[in-house]
Chains A and B, each alone.
Chain A
Amino acid sequence: MSAPEVYEVPQPPVDAGDALAEDRRAGESLWRVALRRLVRNPGAVVGAVIVVAFVLVALLAPVLAPYAAGELPGRADVRPTFIPGPSAEHPLGLDRYGADVLSQLIWGARASLLIGVLSTLLGLAGGMVVGLLAGAFGGWVDSVAMRFVDLMLAVPSLLLAVSIAAVAGQTPSSVVIAIGVVQVPVFARLLRGSMLAQRGQDYVLAARSLGLSRRTVTMSHVLPNSVSPVIVQATLLLATAVIEAAALSFLGLGGGSPTTAEWGRMLVAAQNELEIAPRLALLPGICISVTALGFTLFGEALREALDPRSRRR
C-alpha cells in the first residue's frame, strides 16, 4: 500500500517534565529507565551502599565476627562497676555479660536482616493476597477485605504487634509474625487502591474489549501496573521492620536470653549501664538507625524513579 506521508510534529522538549522523556533510550522498559535514574540519584547510591554493606555483614557474620554469637570471652573481666572499653582484642569493648560488642553487633545484623526480610515478605505476601482479592473482584469481597483492614488499622501499629507477639509466644519467629501481620493492611490497602485506579484506565477497558479473560486482564495488565507503589512501600517498610523488631525486643517480646545478639535487646540491656558505658547503647542504636536510613533512602529514590508523573510521555 502507499503509506500516507507521516507528518507528525515531534514534541520539542519545552516543559521540565519532558526532560525525563529525553533520557529514555529506544526500546527500554520502564524498569530499566527507573534503574538508570536510580544510579544517577546520590541518595539512592548512598542507600544502596548501606543496604549492600548491611546484607553482606549479615550474610558473612560467621566469617567477619571474631567470636560466635552469645560467646562470652570476657566474662571474667566484667565487674559490676566496670565494663572494659575498646581494646586491641575487643575493638568495641565488652558488654555487661562479657560478650565482644563487635561480634554481637555483627551477629545482630544477621538477626535484623532475617527478621526484617522475613516479616516484610510475610506482610507483602499477605497484603498482596488481600489487596489482590479486593482489587480484582471488588463487590462484597472488597467490602469484607476492607472492613478487615480497617479493623487492623483501628489499633496503633506497635500495639497490634505487641498483641500478636503476646499470643504467638516470645520467640524470634513470633516477632516476625507480629511485624509481618501488622504490615498486611498497609500493603493490602495500597495494592487495592492502586489496582482500582488502574482498572478504570482506558488500556484496561481496551484489554477487556479484546475479549481477554478477567484473569488475564488482571494478571497481565492491572497487576503489573499496580505493583510499583507496593515495591516502594516494601523497601520503606524494611526500615520500619528493623526498627519495630528492635522496639519489640525493647519491650521484652523479642524472646531469647539477655546475651542474644540482637540490636534492640542490646540497647535495652545497656539502659542500666548508661552512665558507665554509654557506647553499649549508642552502638546498637546507630546500627539500627543507619540500616533504617539505608532502606529509607533507597525506597525514597525508588519512589521518585518510578513516579508515574515522570513516567508519562
Chain B
Amino acid sequence: MTRLVLRRLALLVPTLFGLSILLFLWVRALPGGPATALLGERATPEAVERINELYGFDRPLPEQYVTWLGQLLQGNFGVSTRTNRPVLEEFLARFPATIELALVALLVAVGVGIPLGYLAARYQGRTVDHAAVVMSLLGVTVPVFFLAFLLKWLFAVQLGWFPSSGRQDPAMVATHPTGFYVLDGLLTREWDASWDAFLHLLLPAVALGSIPLAIIARITRASVIDVQHADYVRTARAKGLAGGHLRSRVILHNAMLPVSTTIGLQVGLLLSGAVLTETVFAYPGIGKFLSDAIFALDYAVLQGFILLIAVVYALVNLAVDVSYGLIDPRMRAR
C-alpha cells in the first residue's frame, strides 16, 4: 500500500514536470508573446520591449525555463495583470470556496446517485428504473451552465427561494477562520451565517453535481445489475443468505468497487464544471476567477491556476486510488 502511494507520487513528478514545460511554452506561444501576457491590454511596443529586457524574455528558452521553474518552486507563480496581486495568493484565497462547493456537489451526486442507481437496479424495468435512466441521460446531456441558468431563473429569480449569487449575504457579518463558510459558521456558533452560506451553496452545488450524479447513478445501476448475476451471489443464496445480509454484505459491497473509482474520476469534471457554475452564480471561487481571467486575457493567472489545479487534481486522484484499496482487499496486496 505504501509502495503504491510512493510509486504514484513518483509518477506524478514527470507528469507535472512535463506539464510545466507545456505551460511555459504555452505562454511563449501566445499571440503577442509573454510580454503581452504580463502587460495585458497595456502592451505598447515600447512597454513590451522593456518587459522583455526586464524579465529576460529575450534570452534563450531553456535558460528562461530554468529561471521560471526556480521561481515556481519558491512559490512565485507570477502576478495577476488584472488585480496586481500574486497568483498564488489569489488561488489560495479562493481555494476553500471551490472546495466547499465541489464537496457539496459531490455529496449531492453521491447521496442521490448511489441510492437512485441502486433502486433502479433492484427494480429493474419498473418505473424507478425508467426514471433513473431518463434522469441520468438528462444529467449528461443538459449543459452544466444551462442547468445553472435554469435553477437560478426558477428558484432564485422566479420563486426567490434561494439567493442568486455570491457565497454569503454581503450584509452578513461573519468571521472566517477556515475559509469554508458553512464550517466557519458552525465553528464560531454563528448559525445564521452558516445557514446563509449553505443556501448560497445549494443551487450551484446541484448544478455542478448534475453530471457526476448522472454518471454515478448509471454506474451504480450497471454495477449492481452485474453483481446480482455474479457467481458468488448465487452461491451466497445457495448457502442460505437472503434479504438484508445478501444485499449489504455481498451485493452492495462488491457493487461499490467500480462506483468508487467513478467517484474519483468525477473530480476533473467538478473542476471543469466549477468554472461554468461559479460564473453563472457569481460565486467567488477559483472557477469564477479563472473565467474572469479568460475574459481579461490574464495569462499569468491562467498559467498559474492551471498548474495548481493539475497538482490538486493529481493529488485527489491519488487519494482516490489509495482509498480504493480500503474497500477492495485485492488492492491492498499491491
Contact = CB atoms under 8 A, between A and B. Distances in A.
A243 B139 CA distance: 12
B137 interface: yes
A251 B279 contact: yes
B303 to A, nearest CB: 9
Given A154-B310, A156-B271, A159-B309, A271 B19 contact: no
Interface string A262-279: 000001000100110010
A288 B31 CA distance: 31
A297 B140 CA distance: 11
Interface stretch (A90-98, A118-126, A162-170): A162-170
Interface residues of B, number: 46
B242 interface: no
B314 interface: yes
Contact of B302 (A163, A246, A278, A297): A163
Interface in B46-71: none
B164 to A, nearest CB: 9
Contact of B137 (A154, A285, A296): A296
Interface in A226-270: 239, 243, 246-247, 250-253, 267
A297 B309 contact: no
A312 interface: no
Interface string B245-283: 000000000000000000000001101110110011000
Given A250-B276, A251-B291, A293-B137, A159 B306 contact: yes
B88 interface: no
Interface string A66-95: 000000000000000000000000000000
A225 interface: no
A271 B153 CA distance: 10
Contacts of A158: 272-273, 275-276
B302 A166 contact: yes
What is the interface residue range for chain A against chain B?
35 or more
Contacts of B273: 158
Given A169-B31, A250-B279, A282-B150, 11 more contacts: A147-B14, A155-B19, A159-B309, A239-B141, A247-B145, A278-B153, A285-B142, A285-B149, A293-B138, A293-B141, A296-B137
Given A155-B309, A285-B146, A296-B137, A251 B30 contact: no
Contact of B143 (A155, A246, A271, A297): A246
A289 B141 contact: yes
Nearest to A268: B145
Given A155-B313, A158-B272, A253 B146 contact: no
Contacts of B26: 163, 167
Contacts of A251: 275-276, 279, 291, 294-295
Nearest to B296: A252
Nearest to B140: A296
A54 B15 CA distance: 40
A157 interface: yes
Nearest to A284: B146
Interface in A121-155: 147, 150-151, 154-155
B302 A162 contact: yes
B106 interface: no
B77 interface: no
Contact of B297 (A166, A250, A267, A288): A166
A292 interface: yes
B299 interface: yes
Nearest to B275: A158
A147 B18 contact: yes
Interface string A283-301: 0010011101100110000
Given A155-B310, A271-B149, A167 B143 contact: no
B93 interface: no
A262 to B, nearest CB: 13
Given A159-B271, A159-B275, A288-B143, A151 B29 contact: no
A274 B153 contact: yes
B145 A250 contact: yes
A78 B178 CA distance: 48
Contacts of B236: none
A281 interface: yes
Contact of B276 (A155, A166, A247, A288): A247
A159 B311 CA distance: 13
A287 B105 CA distance: 26
Contacts of B18: 147, 151
Interface string A100-114: 000000000000000
Interface string B1-26: 00000000000001110110011001
A147 B275 CA distance: 27
Contacts of A282: 150
Contacts of B31: 167, 169
A151 B272 contact: no
B141 A267 contact: no
